């Protein structure tokens, strides 16, 4: 455990703090209570380093610290307060004394707490872990629900009768085997099927992806996606309630086609010609439905992915609170169900590289739609897509949300938001640059974006960054 000044300088050059890295200034002193909280939060997130004596804002100057002069005593007190060991390293950087706290990861299946508060970081804040996150951690030592068997004691013919094996090979773009044993062998290699002493056993993952009829698997039936269509803008009157019958992979195209067939039509005028268009484009529905299927919390019982269609919007929701904060959906990615995500990626249903939400936001900009609204509710994640709406009809919240998403999208594309780019996003002429400036100012005021300090104070050349950049 030796941290050099050169290593500290490399950390300082990173574009932002990471899951394993936290900078704090603490030039003269640092609050012990806050140190305890950060140690717990970092341990819960996989362990990492807290550097004291470095400004936490770019360019992260080394200011040095006079805090915790006796590191041995400090380490002993940390152990007494936290119940786990944190090593403290004193580094003589040319610009000042830096303390490096080496924080270990939490044990598998365990989360650390401080007086009952299970902490994690969210932006620059320390917040309690959600019920979903804790349940996921505590179940780490238990068998994976998706890998357990759902139907057992089957022969090869029954396996082919229950699973759409033809669709499976088509999605993988592989030739269908000439005999049944080849089909079964491929399912076994993919760990969707096991051979036991009593015959073949289908894993829940195999059924969830490939079932010809999910009702044939009693513990899978409630995981089927539902499509509910309402007659107006509220849930007072239901016109249609449909449950998708097939597994996620083999039934995905049919599900998307059905949703698109139920969307309201909008009449738009383009190049002096009137044409009918759906409320939202199909790429948006496709990406968000795939995202909901993959990132749902399958441990939540009695709940499924829901696609609710109103006259002016579509709400797509899945069980479970998100792993990644909703404001970081554009740039962040962490899969809740890794094997499910991997197989759906190989079947070209998703990309598993965090680009799905980017596509959704980009499509909303191209089609001049209001920004999609992502929210974390009680044990549920909801994405709301709105139909066409003129800038004048957008409220303050709509405009701020669109501004932030545009700024974040520009960042992940290695570009920067400007007044001009925001005007183009809203379809505003140059004469309305003052209105765009007002939207930018409002978004800065709520802390969602910030000016790029590297371009100086020039308003003409001003560029903006998302708050976390």
Contact between residue 325 and residue 123 where contact means Cβ atoms under 8 Å apart: yes
Q: For residue 443, what are its two tokens?
A: 């978004």
Contact between residue 184 and residue 178 where contact means Cβ atoms under 8 Å apart: no
β-strands 306-309, 226-230: how paired?
A: parallel
β-strands 273-278, 265-270: how paired?
A: antiparallel
In the sheet where 48-52 sits, what is the strand order?
Answer: 21-24, 48-52, 96-103, 87-93
Give the residue carrying structure tokens 């039509």.
265
The DSSP 8-state label assigned to residue 82 in this structure reads H
- Distance between CA atoms of 420 and 390, rounded to whole angstroms? 18
Neighbours of 14 (CB within 10 A): 12
Taking the CA atoms of residue 232, residue 233, residue 236 and residue 241 in that order, the dihedral angle to the nearest 10 degrees is 70
**Percent of the chain residues topping a pLDDT of 90:** 69
Contact between residue 462 and residue 419 where contact means Cβ atoms under 8 Å apart: yes
pLDDT (0 to 100) of residue 170: 96
- The angle that helices 282-295 and 356-366 make with each other, rounded to 10 degrees, is 160
| Short-list 42, 36, 49, 48, CA closest to 99 | 49
Contact between residue 464 and residue 409 where contact means Cβ atoms under 8 Å apart: no
398 DSSP β-pair partners: none
| Short-list 151, 168, 133, CA closest to 376 | 133
233 half-sphere exposure, CB direction, 13 A CA radius:
4
Q: Say if residue 177 is exposed, middle or buried (CB neighbours under 10 Å; 0-12, 13-18, 19+).
A: middle
Q: Is the peptide bond before 102 cis (omega within 30 degrees of 0)?
A: no
93 half-sphere exposure, CB direction, 13 A CA radius:
24
Residue ranges, the chain, pLDDT below 70? 1, 141, 266-276, 332-335, 351-355, 456-460
Domains of the chain: 5-138 (3.30.950.30), 145-217 (no CATH), 224-386 (3.30.565.60), 392-466 (1.10.10)
- Distance between CA atoms of 86 and 89, rounded to whole angstroms? 10
- 132-to-108, 110, 257, 379 alpha-carbon distances in Å: 16, 14, 32, 7
pLDDT (0 to 100) of residue 355: 64
**Cβ contacts of 277 within 8 Å, gap of 6 or more:** 265, 266, 267, 268
- Measured between alpha carbons, how far apart are the two ends of the chain, in Å? 30
H-type alpha helices, 252-312: 252-262, 282-295
Q: What is the CA radius of gyration of the chain?
A: 26
| Short-list 319, 291, 270, 252, CA closest to 385 | 291
- DSSP reduced 3-state for 328: helix
């Amino acid at each position: 455990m030796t941290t050099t000044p050169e290593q500290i300088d490399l950390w300082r050059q990173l574009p932002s703090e990471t899951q394993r890295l936290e900078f704090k200034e603490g030039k003269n002193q640092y609050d012990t209570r806050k140190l305890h909280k950060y140690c717990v939060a970092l341990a819960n997130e996989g362990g990492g380093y807290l550097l004291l004596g470095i400004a936490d804002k770019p360019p992260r100057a080394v200011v040095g610290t006079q805090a915790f002069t006796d590191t041995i005593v400090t380490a002993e007190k940390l152990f007494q307060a936290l119940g786990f060991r944190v090593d403290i390293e004193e580094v003589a950087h040319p610009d000042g004394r830096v303390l490096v706290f080496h924080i270990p990861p939490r044990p598998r299946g365990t989360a650390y707490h401080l007086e009952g508060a299970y902490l994690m970081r969210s932006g620059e804040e320390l917040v309690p872990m959600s019920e979903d996150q804790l349940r996921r951690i505590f179940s780490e030592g238990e068998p994976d629900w998706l890998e357990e068997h759902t139907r057992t004691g089957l022969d090869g013919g029954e396996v082919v009768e229950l699973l759409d094996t033809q669709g499976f090979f088509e999605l993988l773009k592989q030739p269908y085997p000439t005999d049944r044993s080849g089909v079964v062998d491929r399912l076994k290699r993919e760990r969707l099927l096991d051979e036991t002493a009593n015959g073949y056993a289908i894993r829940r993952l195999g059924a969830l992806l490939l079932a010809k009829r999910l009702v044939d698997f009693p513990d899978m039936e409630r995981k089927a996606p539902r499509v509910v269509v309402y007659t107006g803008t509220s849930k007072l009157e239901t016109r249609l309630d449909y449950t998708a019958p097939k597994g996620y992979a083999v039934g995905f195209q049919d599900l998307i086609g059905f949703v698109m067939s139920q969307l309201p039509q909008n009449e738009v005028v383009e190049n002096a010609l009137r044409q009918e268009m759906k409320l939202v484009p199909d790429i948006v529905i496709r990406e968000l439905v795939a995202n909901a299927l993959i990132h749902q919390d399958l441990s939540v019982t009695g709940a499924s992915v829901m696609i609710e269609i109103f006259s002016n919007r579509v709400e797509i929701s899945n069980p479970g609170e998100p792993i990644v904060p909703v404001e970081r959906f554009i740039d962040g990615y962490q899969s809740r169900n890794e094997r499910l995500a991997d197989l759906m990626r190989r079947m070209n249903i998703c990309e598993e590289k965090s680009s799905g939400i980017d596509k959704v936001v980009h499509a909303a900009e191209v089609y001049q739609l209001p920004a999609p609204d992502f929210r974390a509710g009680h044990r549920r994640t909801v994405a709301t897509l709105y139909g066409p709406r003129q800038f004048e009809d957008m409220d303050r919240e709509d405009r701020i949300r669109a501004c932030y998403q545009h700024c974040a999208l520009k960042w992940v594309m290695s570009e920067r938001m400007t007044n001009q780019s925001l005007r183009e996003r809203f379809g505003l002429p140059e004469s309305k640059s003052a209105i765009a400036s007002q939207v930018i100012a409002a978004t800065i005021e709520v802390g969602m974006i910030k000016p790029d300090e590297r371009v100086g104070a020039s308003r003409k050349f001003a560029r903006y960054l998302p708050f976390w950049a």
